[in-house]
Structure 1
Amino acid sequence: MPQKSRRSFHSQFTISGLWEHQDESQLQVQELSAEEEKWASVMEVDDEKERNESKGVDGENFNLKLDLPMIGDLFEMCKSFCGPRNLSILFYTILRYLGLSWRRADDLLRSIGANTCETAHKWAEIFISGDIEIFQAEGRGAAKAFAIKSCSRKLADFTAVDLANFIDTTFYELTQTSKLNDTLVRSIESCRLDLRR
C-alpha cells in the first residue's frame, strides 16, 4: 500500500485533532521521511486561522468534502476546455515545484485520470526548452476524421470504445512511446461525451 501524500497526511493530522496532543504529534512527525518532514513544518499553521480559512459559506470544513474522485471529476470537466495534456503538464509542474516525488506525482495524476508523469515530463521539457510551436502542435484531427468516417458507413457498429482504441493507438504512434499497461490515453467516458457533441 503506498504511503499517504503530504496533503492527505496534513488533512488527516488537522482533522483528527492531533495538534492538541503534543506527544502524539511529535511521534507522527518523527515517523515522516525527510521530504515529508520538510513539508509538514511548512504546512503547519495556527489552528484557529486554519479552521477559519477552511470553512465554507455554510460553516462546514472544506477538507472533509474533498476527495480524489471529486478532483477527478473536476479534471474531466476542465479537460473539455483546454485538453488533458495541458492540464496534466500544469499539475505535474506544480506538484514537482512543490517538492512532490516523481512516484507520488505519478500516482496522483493516474488517480485523477491525467497523463502519466513520463508524458507530462516530456512535454514540460519541450515547453521549458522554448519550442512553443512543437508544444502547441498536437497533430489532432485524426480522431474526428475517424469518427466521421466510421459513422458514415452503412453499418452502424461504431462505438465509443472504437474511438478510444483509435485514439490510444494513434497517440502511441505520434509520441513514439510504448504502451506499458491496459489503460487508455483517453477514457471511454470522455470519448462518449465527445461523440455526443
Structure 2
Amino acid sequence: DVFEFCKNQCNVRYLSVLIYLTLRYFDISYKTTHTFLKDIGGLTGEVAHKWSNIFMNEKFDEIVGDARGGKRGDSFYDVYPELEQDARIFAVLECQKKAPSFKVYDLAQFIDKRFYEINNVIKTESNLVRSVQSCRLDLRCWGARFEAITNRPFFEGHERPDALAYRKQFIHYFLNNKDNYYQISSDENPCWITPKTPVPTILIYHDESTFRSGDVRAKRWIIDSSAPFFSKGHGRSVMISDFLVQHPSGPLFQLNEKEWMNAVKKYPDLLDNTDLRYEKYSTTVITHLGENP
C-alpha cells in the first residue's frame, strides 16, 4: 500500500531503483529482489538493474531525462467523482455485513462494472479499470482497516475475576472427590475401576461441537468503529451433541458386527492406527435438525 501511494506521487522508476539498490546492498539475492519488486508493482529486476547501473556508472541526466512516471494529470476519481461516491457507499455497506466475506477484489469488480455502466460501453477485455492494489489504497484512504476478528460478544466475560474464582472452586471440588467417581486405568489394557465409597458418583459430560459455525476468516475490513456483531455461521451448520457417561454401562450407541463392517467399507480410515483408543464398535450419532428423516 505504501508503494502504491508513493507511485501515485512520483516516478515508479525512482522507487524501484531505490528499493533495488537497498536490497542488493544488504546482500538480498537478485531473484528475491526481482520477486519482491514484481509483487509490489515495481519494475522487474532486470529493468531495475539496468537503471541502477545507469544511475551509478553513467550519466545522471539519462535516468531523469524523459520525466516519465509520477502524477501528471487528473486522477481516476477526479474524472469520475460519482464513481468514487458509489464505491465508498458500496464499501461501507459491505463492511457492515455480519459475514466477513468482503474482499478488495469485490470492490475492484464493483468499480469495473460501474465504470462501463457510466460510460455506456461494453467491456471487451478482462483487465480491471482500477487495480486491486489501487482499490486497497482507496479503502485505506476512506478510513477502512483490515483487522483481526477478536473480542466477539459471545467470548466476552470469560476471564472476569468472579468467573476465574468459580472455576478454581469447581476444579478444587472435582479433584478432592475423585475417589467417588468411576475411573479407567491408564495401563496398556484399560479397565474400569469401581469406586469403593457407599454412594458412588457417575460423571456425565456434555460434548458439543458445531462445525462451520465459526468465522470463516481471521481478519475483515472495518470502516470507522461501527463493526457489526459477527455472524457465528456461514450457511447451514452441523451440530454434534453427545453425552459421555463415565460408567461401564456406556456407550449408548453401538454397532453390531455387520454394521461395523459396512462402516469400515465406507470409511476405511477408521482402521488407521492413531493415538486415540475407542470402545469396540462404539459410534456417535449426528442429526440434521429440521431435515426429513
Q: Return the TM-score normalized by structure 2.
A: 0.25
Compare the two structures and name the one with the higher helix fraction.
Answer: 1
Q: Return the TM-score normalized by structure 1.
A: 0.36
Q: Name which one, 1 or 2, has greater alpha-carbon Rg.
A: 2
Compare the two structures and name the one with the higher strand fraction.
Answer: 2
Q: Which has the higher contact order (CA 8 A, sep 6+)?
A: 2
